Amino acid sequence: MDRRLQIGEAVAAALGTTVLTTRRLAGGCVADVLLLELEGGRRVVCKPLAPEHARIEAAMLRALTARSALPVPAVLHESHGLLILEHIEHDGRMGESGERHAAELLASLHGLAGPAFGFDHDTLIGPLHQPCPPTASWREFFAEHRLRTFGALAHRRGAIGDPCWDRLRRLADQIGALLDEPEHPSLIHGDLWGGNVLAHRGRIAAFIDPAVHHAHPEVELAYTTLFSTFGPAFYERYHQIRPIRPGFFEQRRDIYNLYPLLVHAILFGGSYGEQVDDILQHGTP
């Protein structure tokens, strides 16, 4: 039987309805994402995943819904690797008004304090396991569970070479002198590239595919600069609500972006490992 037909039948059984059409959505770079039209005109999004990945993604979305006002798709069903989500209408039209709206939503999210850095359970970033053990120190958490953990994985997979891995470990050893401790562990989305931000008519409709945990909010801001998720209007509005401390753009941003660059080097190879090494050689003190 055709895989899409199988998925359609599984969705129909889970939701108690009839699936009329099934088509693949663009943007699913690590997993298939399907749009299904149901009887009566309703549409849902289906992500066939490994069972544990479906469970964790559902848990992250539910946590954001329960703990914050961040707009995310509702989880309609999750079992045996079948994740069914609310379909969010979006047209890609963000503009400066949408950027300011995003800043307000994320500043509010970052104002939510957690008991420790990390999370209630380990989460995911894309398809990768993301360790989130509760940790009292942000510097310790970032050095150990982001730089060393993902640097070791990138090195084992050949995404970075021996000299780069040595430089990364030395940086992790010095992290206490380079980063500060925030006022509290902030809840973050964790994977804010442009494809995970849905805009509609100049407003943010939803944030999708989270990599949730409690962190320094600067790590989230840094990631938004890596692939130009937002423009100046976002940072201006965010700064009005939650002032960005001096030195972020000049120094700390590059250190924080080592993490998503390591993730991309592990997943996609290419020049991402070279970008990690370039920051380590030229972009840090």
Residues tagged active-site:
191
Q: Name the token pair of 197.
A: 């931000």
Closest CA to 254 of 191, 168, 190: 168
Residues 6+ apart with CB under 8 A from 260: 223, 226
Residues 6+ apart with CB under 8 A from 116: 134, 135, 136, 185, 214
In degrees rounded to 5, what are phi and psi of residue 51? Answer: -50, -45
Q: Where are the beta strands (DSSP E) in the chain?
A: 19-24, 34-38, 43-48, 75-79, 82-86, 123-125, 128-130, 186-188, 197-200, 203-207, 213-215
Distance CA 54, CA 39 (A): 25
Distance CA 178, CA 98 (A): 33
Cβ(186)–Cβ(217) under 8 Å? yes
